């Protein structure tokens, strides 16, 4: 199921209207779905391994809080932020300044930044825990069955 970008995101509270939420692929919609974006984004950081550890632990804790409340949309958004922590840290680990492409469209040569790679690994571990959580998978299946 594709993420529905046609929704009125500015005026939709997905906690009150979970039926409007579509899971989508990967990180789709991570910066659109409220109130979750506003709850999770302030904690999303990956500059150093220490910061990534603190950030990923806080976001995973939020994942577990959403789980306690059987809030699938919140769980999925926390999972997406963990995934995005991994992908962005990995991008910065591979390319100085996080820019993969040059102005002319060619790809920059990879220059591995070990610190950012470690940050990516930290997020990867929490992302994997979230995406493989048995309750998350059951709620995801149920949500998709009910709402597509």
Q: Is 1 among the domain residues?
A: no
Residue 3 domain-assigned (yes or no) = no
| Contacts (Cβ under 8 Å, ≥6 apart) of 93 | 112, 113, 114, 115, 116, 117, 119, 120
User: For the chain, how many structural domains are there in total?
Assistant: 1
Q: Is the previous residue joined to 112 through a cis bond, with omega within 30 degrees of 0?
A: no
What burial class does residue 5 get, using C-beta atoms within 10 Å of its C-beta: 0-12 exposed, 13-18 middle, 19+ buried? exposed
Query: Which has the closest alpha carbon to 77: 121, 144, 24, 129?
Result: 24
Residue 133 lies in a domain: yes
Question: How much is the pTM?
Answer: 0.91
Residue 34 lies in a domain: yes
Q: Is 50 part of a structural domain of the chain?
A: yes
- 86 exposure class (CB count in 10 Å sphere: 0-12, 13-18, 19+): buried
Query: Which residues share a beta bridge with 104?
Result: none
In a domain, 40, yes or no: yes
Residue 78 structural domain: 9-98+106-147
Higher pLDDT, residue 106 or 128: 128
Examine residue 89 and state whether it is found in any structural domain, yes or no: yes
For tokens 């469209």, what's the residue? 105
What is the C-alpha to C-alpha distance for residues 60 and 36, in angstroms, rounded to an integer? Answer: 13
Report how far residue 54's alpha carbon sits from residue 43's, in angstroms, rounded to the nearest whole number.
9
67-86 per-position pLDDT tens digit: 999 999 999 999 999 999 99
pLDDT digits (tens, 9 = 90+) for 15-71: 999 999 998 888 988 999 999 999 999 999 999 999 999 999 999 999 999 999 999
Q: Is residue 4 part of a domain?
A: no
């Amino acid at each position: 199921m594709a993420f529905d970008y046609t929704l009125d995101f500015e005026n939709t509270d997905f906690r009150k209207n979970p039926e409007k939420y579509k899971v989508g692929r990967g990180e789709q919609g991570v910066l659109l779905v409220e109130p979750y974006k506003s709850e999770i984004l302030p904690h999303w950081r990956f500059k150093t391994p220490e910061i990534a550890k603190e950030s990923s632990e806080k976001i995973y804790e939020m994942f577990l809080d959403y789980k306690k409340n059987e809030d699938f949309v919140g769980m999925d958004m926390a999972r997406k932020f963990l995934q995005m922590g991994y992908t962005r840290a990995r991008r910065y680990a591979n390319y100085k300044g996080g820019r993969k492409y040059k102005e002319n469209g060619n790809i920059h040569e990879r220059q591995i930044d070990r610190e950012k790679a470690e940050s990516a690994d930290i997020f990867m571990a929490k992302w994997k825990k979230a995406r493989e959580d048995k309750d998350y998978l059951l709620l995801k299946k149920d949500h998709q069955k009910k709402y597509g």
